[in-house]
Structure 1
Amino acid sequence: MREAWPIWFAPRGRRLAALALPALLLAGCLGDQTSLLPGNAAHDGEIAPPITTVQRAADQEHQRLLAAFGGEYRAPRTRAALDEIVKRLARTSDGQIGAYEITILNSPAVNAFALPNGRLYVTRGLLALANDTSEIASVLAHEIGHVTAQHAAQRAEKEAESALVSQVASQVLKNPTQGAAVLAGSKLSLARFSRQQEFEADRISVTSLARAGYDPYGASRFLTTLGRNTAFRAAGQNQSAEDKRLDMLATHPQTPERIAAVTTAARQIAAPGLGEHDAGSWLNAIEGLAYGEDPRDGVARGRRYVNSTLRIAFTAPEGFSLEAAQDMVIGVSANGAQALRFDSVKLKSDQTLESYVAAGWIEGVATTGIEKTEMGGQPAVTAHGKGTDWMFRLAAVQFGDRVYRFILAARGSSDPERQMRSIVDSFRTLTPAEAQAARPLRIRIVAANAGDTVASMAEHMPEQDRPVELFQLLNGLDRDAALTPGRRYKVIGE
């Protein structure tokens, strides 16, 4: 069993999954944050038609989603392509509710959502993985399927039933073993219900694709890429795909199960190769789309982190890989023996930097060896500490009433003093011109020349980790696939 990380090294994916979005919302059908969220109840004493309550809740969840996923990303060419696909799907779908409205979320996460009123959401991270019109249409058809099948309302009813069962089990049943069995059965029933909804939305997606004239096999191709993306990210976090395998209580089926189901459904409709799968128009639609983190929230490229809003930059020690979120940066060494966290807090009015560090900010760890220093020309303090299983080096730099904190932890008895010193020495403030020059990476479309290989095309992405694997992932290529001269492929660059 893998030894647990300290709680304050929570990975970003788990943090996003924990965001409170209480909603009448069908969420996370494709990414790692997979949850079908229940509906908001009307306020006590409120008298209003149900549709008004539904619309109010939908408007609230729209704002919550924008806040949680970086706001709306404006890309007129991409939005126009998505609007056209949605119109084609809507004309042929069952249970049409009226006009659908799509929003691109400014997030590198791979996910899609739908509200019961027809609002659809896709992240730009998801858009980057699709390779033709039928693949992205399969995602939108899946979300529309959830709406037309009224899965959100069904799930809310099922969750209310599950809550009642839980209440009975906890308050009525006096036998702990019997109570646990009832609770487990209730959770399993809810999980099975959720998986059934996903399979139904997948089936609706394949049928809708064919009716709208798209290649029905686009769904299986995109789900295959989705599975490869999960494995790619897991490998980058020193975790195997098996470590992230969904358990029996997961709300979504295993990706291989879904691929098998949509492939079977497509075979019942048509042979492979029929229907539109226009790669050219889709690549034109997403060329120039931002890829990865937004520099305003902070960008991690290899070992280097840059935040244009805070106007700061630093470099992690050799062998580390960084992952940036809006409120923190997490780093892990290649061998998994060391971990880094960077975040910020606000000083209280009566606190100095030294008193804050001396008070200790890691539960159960005594802070010792406090020394004044400078980081990037700003006042700073370093310290160290020891926990049960970890050795710590700490550094804090002050900007006004805010403190930017580095925590470097090493498993066992090894002292990460040298690695922390390299971080302190690398920390610097950006000039206004440097901050303005920090731009997001973008999707670029490059035609392959005769003699080009996966390796040579991956050279267009020198700042990316594992560029060969990433190139294959982005373009839906098998490991041994040869490139076609003249064909256009996605690469990542400035």
Structure 2
Amino acid sequence: MTALSLSKKTMRLGALAVSLLALGACSSLTGSSVAVSRTGDTPAPMVVPEGTEPDDVVIGRREHPRIIAAYGGVYSDREAEIMVARIVGRLLAAADQPNAQFQVTILDTSEVNAFALPGGYIYVTRGILALASDTSELAAVLAHEIAHVTLRHARARTDKTRTTQIVDRVITCIFGGDTSTDATANRTRESLAAFGQSQELEADREGIKFAGKAGFDPQAAARFLGVMSRFAAFSAGDQAGDDGFLSSHPSTPARIQKAADTARQMFGSASVGETDRDGYMAAVSGMAFGDSPSQGSIVGNRYIHSGSKFTFTVPQGYALQTAQSAVVGVAGDGEAVRFDSADVQANMALTDYLKSGWIAGLKAETVTSHNYNGIEMASGLAQTDQWFFRVAVMRLDGAVY
């Protein structure tokens, strides 16, 4: 891959290969019908929100493991899980959905993001838990996403899946892989989190109503939108940008004001409702902050895995993202780069490995061997009807990347 600039490598990057986490329900945390994904559990039957169509359940169950894979797995922290489950239980009662079972997942990523899928699947990240400062602010986020589900926005949005099929075809066509766990395809599926402006405002209103009726501070939605706006400004210096909650949930001054006005109209101008800052801080105390050490860190256009003393850079304009088994970079002009590992026999030449049939469209005559800073490498070109790839492999300390 010509886009990569390699630096010192002294240890195998084995930490990037993270096994897929099993997902399941944890209704015992609260005694309610709220399910929280936990590591090592098995899937449990879902009692879905009223009005949910069978197709919604199919869509949610299909995309759920793909979302998990795209975000590096489930973050397991009992105190945080209990807090989230209790908040969602109160919100569902306020939304007249007391018997519905929503699957709530805390994703192990520092990205600031929250979104919903059809069938009652709701996701929040470690990043958004770190950004919130009290229980009412997290409740505002969760209420907003529950509103998207109950208002059927998540179902309407699934028409956008057609736009993800291009990426799926690239992965299947070039690498012959299963896109169900591929980081690129899953990160593209994350774009399903984006709703139209009218849907966002409608979800704001419904979410504020749910949160206020549940006893939380109704002004928390406007307050947290302001926090996101300031965080977006702070993050603007990051050339990679932010493709998560801040882009799919824009915090414009008009939207913040509208949220504040809605709260006043529904619940009055006096400060009412629970904020519970102390309880929130106790629940998130000890929570991992920033990038997960097992996945390495991204600083601008550089990926760093400090434990393995491994780093590489990509050209300006690429947005790097980590997933369970790969590091993926995407540029706005349709270019992309992917870095992962493979099991290759020690006595197999890298040129032979490239020609072994795992790359569709490979031009065998372009495969050549190289030596870069003492690193054994091989590269070649692959082309299909729609796509052109440069593929490179390297052997470091017995591992192949």
- Structure 1 partner of 2:62: 60
| Cα distance between partner residues in 2 of 1:347 and 1:261 | 55
| Cα distance between partner residues in 1 of 2:351 and 2:230 | 47
- Structure 1 partner of 2:39: none
| Cα distance between partner residues in 1 of 2:195 and 2:279 | 37
- Structure 2 partner of 1:101: 103
Which AA in structure 2 matches 1:306?
A: H
- Give how far 1:372 is off: 6.0
- Structure 2 partner of 1:85: 87
- Give how far 1:141 is off: 0.6
Which AA in structure 2 matches 1:291?
A: F
| Cα distance between partner residues in 2 of 1:117 and 1:228 | 33
Matches within 5 A, 1:214-253: 214-237=216-239
Q: Secondary structure at the match of 2:104?
A: strand
Matches within 5 A, 1:123-142: 123-142=125-144
Which AA in structure 2 matches 1:217?
A: Q
Residues 125-163 of structure 1, C-alpha deviations (whole Å, 9 max, x = no match): 11111001110000111111112222234445x779xxx
- Give how far 1:315 is off: 5.4
Which AA in structure 2 matches 1:280?
A: D
Please tell me whether residue 119 in structure 1 is matched to residue 141 in structure 2.
no
Matches within 5 A, 1:103-182: 103-155=105-157
| Cα distance between partner residues in 2 of 1:398 and 1:270 | 64
- Give how far 1:200 is off: 0.6
- Structure 2 partner of 1:277: 275
Tell me the TM-score normalized by structure 2. Answer: 0.58
- Structure 2 partner of 1:261: 258
Q: Secondary structure at the match of 1:121?
A: strand
Tell me the TM-score normalized by structure 1. Answer: 0.48
User: Do the aligned partners of 2:79 and 2:284 also contact (CA within 8 Å) in 1?
Assistant: yes
Residues 4-27 of structure 1, C-alpha deviations (whole Å, 9 max, x = no match): xx9889xxxxxxxxxxxxxxxxxx
Which stretches in structure 2 are left out of the alignment for 5+ residues?
6-51, 162-193, 330-336, 355-362, 380-391
Which stretches in structure 1 are left out of the alignment for 5+ residues?
1-5, 10-49, 161-191, 331-340, 358-362, 384-393, 405-494
| Cα distance between partner residues in 1 of 2:102 and 2:241 | 38
User: Do the aligned partners of 2:88 and 2:142 also contact (CA within 8 Å) in 1?
Assistant: yes
The change in CA–CA distance for 1:290 and 1:283 in structure 2 (over 3 A counts) is same
Residues 196-233 of structure 1, C-alpha deviations (whole Å, 9 max, x = no match): 11111000111122212211111112112222233333
The change in CA–CA distance for 1:207 and 1:239 in structure 2 (over 3 A counts) is closer
The change in CA–CA distance for 1:63 and 1:238 in structure 2 (over 3 A counts) is closer
Matches within 5 A, 1:23-422: 52-94=54-96, 98-155=100-157, 194-237=196-239, 255-268=252-265, 269-271=267-269, 273-300=271-298, 305-306=304-305, 312-314=308-310, 325-326=322-323, 327-328=326-327, 343-344=339-340, 346=342, 352-353=349-350, 371=371, 373-374=373-374, 380=376, 396-400=394-398, 402-404=399-401
Q: Secondary structure at the match of 1:120?
A: strand
| Cα distance between partner residues in 2 of 1:240 and 1:64 | 20
- Give how far 1:110 is off: 1.7
Percent of paired sites with the same residue: 35
Which AA in structure 2 matches 1:305?
A: I
| Cα distance between partner residues in 2 of 1:8 and 1:272 | 57
Q: Secondary structure at the match of 2:339?
A: strand
The change in CA–CA distance for 1:203 and 1:298 in structure 2 (over 3 A counts) is same
Q: Secondary structure at the match of 1:215?
A: coil
User: Do the aligned partners of 1:97 and 1:148 also contact (CA within 8 Å) in 2?
Assistant: no
Backbone CA RMSD of aligned residues: 4.9
The change in CA–CA distance for 1:355 and 1:78 in structure 2 (over 3 A counts) is same
User: Do the aligned partners of 1:96 and 1:148 also contact (CA within 8 Å) in 2?
Assistant: no
Higher RCO (Cα < 8 Å, 6 or more apart): 2
Which structure's CA Rg is the greater one?
1
| Cα distance between partner residues in 2 of 1:152 and 1:306 | 36
| Cα distance between partner residues in 2 of 1:148 and 1:285 | 28
- Give how far 1:271 is off: 2.3
